[in-house]
Amino acid sequence: MTAHDDTERLHRVLTALASASGGRSGMKLVLPEVASVFDSTEVVIRVDDETKYSYGKADVPVIDRGAGRLRIGELHGLVAPLLEDGYLLVARRSPDFDDADLERLAACASALDLFERMWRARDSERLAAERGHRQAVENVRLLDSLMERQRLLERLTRLQRSISHRAPLQEVLDAVCHGARELVGDEVVGVRLLDPEDPGVIEIKASVGVPEHVLDKVNRAPVGVGAGGRAASENRLVIVYEYDRSENTITALKEDGLQSAMAAPVHEHGEPVGSLVVATYRKGRRYSQVEQEVLLAFAEHVSIALSDSKTVEALREAQRVKEMFLAMVSHELKTPLTAIMGTLRTFKRHDAVL
């Protein structure tokens, strides 16, 4: 091999390395070029105690990375150190390798070492950048979640204040509907409660966003029908996707093109008595875990308001009964007591005569 041929082959090795996009593809491209430089039938790159890349079919055993020239069965072998603990090996049947071959192999190993380190550094930077991007995306998601929960806390705090201040139940229910609409994001929200006169029917007690042309048709519905009816009867969170294609839904909403609905049960003293429902006409709507938790939180406050309202009403009724009782007792006692007092005054006036 002339010096020009030697230089040309080494140049092909470097060109193959420079054109590679990464370590694995680079090594696969360069191994045939290394074999060409040394007219070898076998090329092996061993790193981290395992054979990473190979060219040829011979079963080459693990050898000492500092062996230099060696025999591998019928093959002549040549070894040069690579990276921290690996090596580059070439082998051929004949002729044996000389010192010039060893220098060329060392040069090839140095080039491979340089590019392998460069690829590793680049991969490390890429992975770090990807991790950084994922972390940034996660940070944004966490911030959004935190802000959403902060808005929820503010809404729930206002509701708690209204309940504690004995605000009218209708006012609390209306506030729940507007709060759920803002935080969940669906345009339709409603509170459905069982009809005390007809427990088999559930009716809308507060709503926002229900189209006027369907409001009268959906105001009352059988318990167990639709997302809200099912949430009340099954006492659990109910989600219905593709509402217009689903069974056991409210016909008027289905025909109107409603797409998704989610309902959470509301309770009165622990017993399910209705539901809080959010729904949308937007296609492809899916409810996240956070949105489900938001709805459950609002439903819980409806339950508190219902129980508190009934407790307050019971206390007021008890007070009315008490006042009526005292008035009645006072009336019954008033006449006898007056008569007794009059008699005593008469006795006092005629005491001397008697």
DSSP letters along 184-219, please? H--SEEEEEEEETTEEEEEEEEEEES--HHHHHHHS
Is pLDDT above 60 for 353?
no
Residues 98 and 42 in one domain: yes
Per-residue model confidence (pLDDT) at position 325: 45
Residue 84 lies in a domain: yes
Write out the H or E segment, with its range, that includes residue 57.
none
pLDDT digits (tens, 9 = 90+) for 212-222: 999 999 999 99
Do residues 295 and 185 share a domain? yes
Q: Is residue 213 domain-shared with residue 267, that is, in the same domain? A: yes
Please report, for the domain that includes residue 23, its CATH number: 3.30.450.40
Tell me whether residue 205 is in a domain: yes
Whether residue 186 is found in the same domain as residue 260: yes
One domain, residues 175 and 303? yes
**Residue % of the chain over a pLDDT of 70:** 81
Q: What secondary structure, in 3-state letters, does 83-137 show?
A: CCCEEEEEEECCCCCCHHHHHHHHHHHHHHHHHHHHHHHHHHHHHHHHHHHHHHH
Residues 65, 69, 73, CA angle at the centre, nearest 5°? 95
Q: Is 58 within the bounds of a domain? A: yes
Across 66-79, average pLDDT: 88
Indicate whether 172 and 106 sit together in one domain. no
- Domain identity same for 90 and 170: no
Number of structural domains (the chain) is: 2
Asked if residue 213 is part of any domain, the answer here is yes
How sure is the predictor about 21, in pLDDT bands with cuts at 50, 70 and 90?
Answer: low
User: Six-digit token pair at 199?
Assistant: 């427990």
Among 105, 127, 149, the domain-final residue is: 127
> In terms of domains, do 100 and 201 share one?
no
178 with 288, same domain?
yes
CA distance 235 to 147: 30
Q: What is the pLDDT of residues 245-295, one digit of tens each?
A: 899 999 999 999 999 999 999 999 889 999 999 999 999 999 998 889 889
Residue 349 covered by a domain: no
Range of the domain at 18: 3-127
Band of the pLDDT at 315, cuts 50, 70, 90?
very low
Residue at 329 is within a domain: no
In a domain, 324, yes or no: no
- Which has the closest alpha carbon to 44: 23, 25, 59, 29? 59
Residue 222 domain flag:
yes
Same structural domain for residues 218 and 171? yes
Q: What is the predicted pLDDT for the residue at 7?
A: 67
Residue with tokens 């051929």: 92
Q: Which two tokens stand for residue 334?
A: 């008033």
Q: Do 109 and 231 share a domain, yes or no? A: no
Residue 95, preceding peptide bond in cis (omega within 30° of 0): yes
Q: For residue 219, what is the DSSP state? A: S
Based on the domain organization, do 94 and 20 belong to the same domain? Answer: yes
